[in-house]
Structure 1
Amino acid sequence: MAPFESSDQTIDGCSVDVAASSLSWVSPTGSDRQVDFKDIVGVVRNSDSSPGYRVLYLKSIPSEEENNESIIRLSKLDIVSLPAGLSPFLVDLPGHLRREEPVQVVISTRSGTGTAKAVFQDIVEPFLQYLGLEYRVYETQSAQTILELSRSHFLKNACAGIPQTILLLSGDGGLVDLVDVFYKSTKTLQVAPDIGLIPCGTGNAMASSIGLRSGPASGLRALLRGQPSSVPAFAASFSPGSQLVVDEGREHAPIDLQSDGSSLTIYGAVVASWGLHAALVADSDTAEYRKFGSERFKMAAKELLHPADGTSPHRFQGQISLTTVDQRTGEQSQQILKENEHMYVLATLVPRLEKDFLISPDTEPLGGQMRFLRFGPLSGDEAMRLMILAYQGGQHVHDELVTYQEVERVRIDFREDLERWRRVCIDGKIVAVDQGGWMELSKEPRHLLNIIKPCE
């Protein structure tokens, strides 16, 4: 499509050209300006007192740091009328951005490589201001901040029937804190909060799974065009004596009892794992590893797969029981795996654990299916081959060495002496199961939270 001009398409009094893939104009200072369509977050109508349209777009600014990396910031253009080429970007503010309660913004300062605060200042705060939205900001001061906020504010509003939108600038940890608090509450919820994810973590499994695979900007686009969808969850119950592993593995903390006092329970929405996956998450959860971003997982995996002393990778000892449902009759059946040695064991509600790590290709995002994946002891090279296949469109599930199926429940009875091999991962949280103990996973029938999912 050839560029065209119209006298009423102006920015700061200058005429605008709209081409097939860009918007361009000459600024009052005489410099040429251009915005590619791929950098446009959205177009909204201005208020009645200020007619016209506001174009929100991402702009790259050279950094003053020595690394010479550019900074991405959100900017705006005010335009008198809407060129036809921009019509696909025009949106009306959705209901989750038109509420009496201010938008609640949670900045997880420790997530990933620690970029959440900068993402807020450069992208999210301008977004809220350009849309004229009221907002309230919370910065995490410790690993307990989101848990405390959830109990004191978010849960309280939900029980009082106050609709609320919560923006999480975090990884999966921020979401699982909300999930855990809401599902452990004995109070009656009147309205589920809507959660907008601005991915700032290392893996960003939930964000990547629902389609937010291009970083924080994709989260903003979802806020403008997406719809709330309920979040499936699972319950992970543990035998007495099990404890959370905290402070980079140096300390232990208690797990809250289930509301009926029957068991130690953590609720999750992403993944529960034992073996290689849990070990590499636990081993890489240090400040030294985190500075490498998602590469930390691969680095830790190499050390586990090729131990420095030249021995073979560890063979995890335990008995695994699966409960499945016949989709035709609805009847449940239980299966005890004949194998008692394992290398990689997990159950997941999402398709992706990282942007390109497609662990469960058959899983529909937010569809509520729980799928189980396992393979037994292998050489480091053979295990790495399977992991590489997961990065190649989830091809690992077709390998004869991999067990992959939909399940309702999973139980693991651990047969390990050393605590290191009894650590499990629940959405990034590490639990040390007591010697001779067990873990049981089950799908949660309740739906207490919504995530704002991009429209197809």
Structure 2
Amino acid sequence: MATASFKWGSDVYSAEVAEDVLHCTSHEGAQGTIKLSNIVGVLSTNSPSTPSVLFVVKPDDENEEAPGYLQKIDISSLPPALSQFLVTVPDYLKHSEPVQVIISVTSGTQTAQAVFQDLVKPFLTHVGLEYEVHETKSAQTIKELAQSQFLDRACSGIPQTIILLSGDGGLVDLVEVFYESSRSVQTPPQIALVPCGTGNAMASSIGLRSGPASGLVALIRGAPTPLPTFAARISPGSQLVIDEGRQRVPLGVDAHGSYRTLYCAVVVSWALHSALVADSDTTEYRKFGRERFKMAANKLLYPSDGTEPHRFNGKITYSTVNGQTGEVSQETTDTNEHMYVVVSMVPRLEKNFLISPGTEPLGGQMHLMRWGPIPADEAVRLVVLAYQGGLHVSEKTVTYADVEQLRIEFEEDSEHWRRVCIDGNIVTVEKGGWLELHKEPRQLLHVIKPC
């Protein structure tokens, strides 16, 4: 059954629920239906006698990822079946500071502006919230906002809520600014994710799997949860890859003088995964959305000259903790040749790509998933298993471990094969260099997670 559209204005509807559908009739006789699955929430704050139903109308009701647009109707009384949707405005939206809305205009397939106009703006208006909107002007906009506004407020103890209409990159920018600062955060910001990117790993992992509208459900019915992060120490001489791979920016070293530390919350990878992310990070590839990753992977797995896929060389050591005894043990992979190396703090890298089924969302675990050189068709089979509920981790060729720390010592001559992905940023490690990962004890940001 398709969802009907409704008149805006002061009409009050009578309503009843049957077969997971809300049937509504106005005093003028207008009728319509709303699937319960499309209801964001029922508000009773403005007028308890006439609750307001906030719901999403989708142009294609069969496509759960279609963004749709938000509408509101008032009903004369609350059917018992709607009690589960009854909400009040949560405390994290009642700050004296206006809600900060960031629209990443180039994320994914560039839908963030439309999502704001059709979903987020009417939501904020109906709930009665003051807000400020920031549209990205460059790749540095979110970092600049964090440095000039958000960090100052957090260090001054001022509560704030930030709505991110972006992919994972927006959250990554906030992590970088907050964790690389030497200032002391008194009140962590509350971050609400409205997924508008390509992979949306963090949003998908915490349960926002039905597109942008699910971000509104979490915003009104969620709970702020500390965001776990991990630190990547990189040997001196490493460089950040920018401008679609055409330019390099030296990372330098941090206060320790012997390495540079980058902070991340999603994934660090090397070998096939980092290479396909790097190769597909172009304007031309981004036109294809998530398909860009598959396109880049095919070129790496099936080289045009007919040779086998590259064997990535490096020594990988990692430590694990025995859950019963607490004993720490160090292990090394059985070979220094690799095809796929991922260390993740989230279970999903895309909505259906369950890379780490043992990872609890926002649970602070750090899982290694790795396999060595195998035929291209076998690699494709393992990736398909990841899309089938994470079955790949049960394969004998796959190393899957809950790790405390990890170190990679690179043994590649060509810079092309020394590219690592750190939360979407591509870094080239210098020849003979290394990368170390460990969990970061500080928790400087909170993410609003669905309840």
Instruction: Give the shorter-chain TM-score range.
Output: over 0.9
Moved more, 429-438 or 261-270: 261-270
Is residue 54–residue 78 contact of structure 1 (8 Å, CA) maintained in 2? yes
**The residue matched to 1:124 in structure 2 has which SS?**
helix
Q: Distance in 1 between matches of 2:148 and 2:256?
A: 21
Counterpart of 2:383 (choices 383, 387, 391) is: 387
Match for residue 60 of structure 1 among 54, 58, 61: 58
> Cα gap change, 1:316/1:70 in structure 2, threshold over 3 Å: closer, same or farther?
closer
Q: Distance in 2 between matches of 1:259 and 1:146?
A: 24
Deviation of 1:138 after TM superposition, in Å, equals: 0.8
Amino acid at match of 1:19: A
**Is the 8 Å Cα contact of residues 275 and 344 (structure 1) preserved in structure 2?**
yes
- 1:447: how far off? 1.0
CA distance in 1 between counterparts of 2:79 and 2:433 reads 65
TM-score, structure 1 normalization: 0.93
Instruction: Say if 1:335 and 1:17 are closer, same or farther in 2 by CA, change over 3 A.
Output: closer
Alpha-carbon distance between aligned partners in 2 of 1:231 and 1:431, rounded to the nearest angstrom: 23
The answer to whether structure 1 residue 120 and structure 2 residue 113 are counterparts is: no
**1:77 partner SS:** strand
Cα displacement (A) at 1:82: 1.5
Helix, strand or coil: the match of 1:310?
coil
Q: Which runs of 5 or more residues in structure 2 are unaligned?
A: 1-9
Q: Which residue of 2 aligns with 1:308?
A: 304
1:25 to 1:274, Cα distance in 2 relative to 1, 3 A: same
Tell me which moved more, 81-90 or 248-257: 248-257
Distance 1:310 1:83, change over 3 A: same
Q: What amino acid is aligned across from residue 52 of structure 2 in structure 1?
A: R
Aligned to 2:141: 145
- Whether the aligned pair in 2 keeps the contact of 1:184 and 1:258 (CA below 8 Å) is no
TM-score, normalised relative to structure 2: 0.94
Q: Give the equivalent residue in structure 1 for 2:38.
A: 39
CA 1:245–1:398: 2 relative to 1, 3 Å: same
Q: Structure 1 regions of 5+ residues with no counterpart?
A: 1-10, 63-68
Q: Distance in 2 between matches of 1:257 and 1:128?
A: 43
Q: Secondary structure at the match of 1:56?
A: strand
Q: Tell me whether 169-178 or 319-328 shows the greater mean CA deviation.
A: 319-328
Task: Return the letter of the residue paired with 1:329.
Answer: T
Find 1:367's aligned residue among 341, 348, 363: 363
In the TM superposition, residue 105 of structure 1 has moved relative to its aligned partner by 0.7
Could you say which residue in structure 2 is the equivalent of 1:207? 203
In the alignment, structure 1 residue 156 sits paired with structure 2 residue 152: yes
1:178-207 deviations in Å (ceiling 9; x for gaps): 111111111111111111110111111111
Q: Distance in 2 between matches of 1:13 and 1:391?
A: 45
- Taking only aligned residues, the RMSD between alpha carbons, in angstroms, comes to 1.9
| Paired residues, number | 439
| 1:111 to 2:111 alignment | no
Counterpart in the other structure of 1:130: 126
Aligned match of 1:222: 218
**Counterpart of 2:429 in structure 1: which amino acid?**
V
- Provide the secondary structure at the position in 2 that maps to 1:367: coil
Percent identity, aligned pairs only, is 61
Residue 89 in 1 paired to residue 88 in 2? no
Residue of structure 2 equivalent to 1:342: 338
- Tell me, yes or no, if the aligned pair for 1:119 and 1:216 is still in contact at 8 Å: yes
Letter paired with 1:36: K
In the alignment, the residues of structure 1 paired with residue 252 and residue 106 of structure 2 have an alpha-carbon distance, to the nearest angstrom, of: 23
* Contact 2:14-2:77 within 8 A present in 1 as well: no
Q: 2:292 aligned with 1:296, yes or no?
A: yes
CA contact (8 A) 2:273 2:340 kept: yes
Partner secondary structure for residue 58 of structure 2: strand
Larger deviation: 320-329 or 436-445? 320-329
Q: CA deviation at 1:47?
A: 2.0
Is the CA contact 2:382–2:392 (under 8 Å) kept in the aligned structure 1? yes
Contact in 2 for aligned 1:307/1:313 (Cα 8 Å): yes
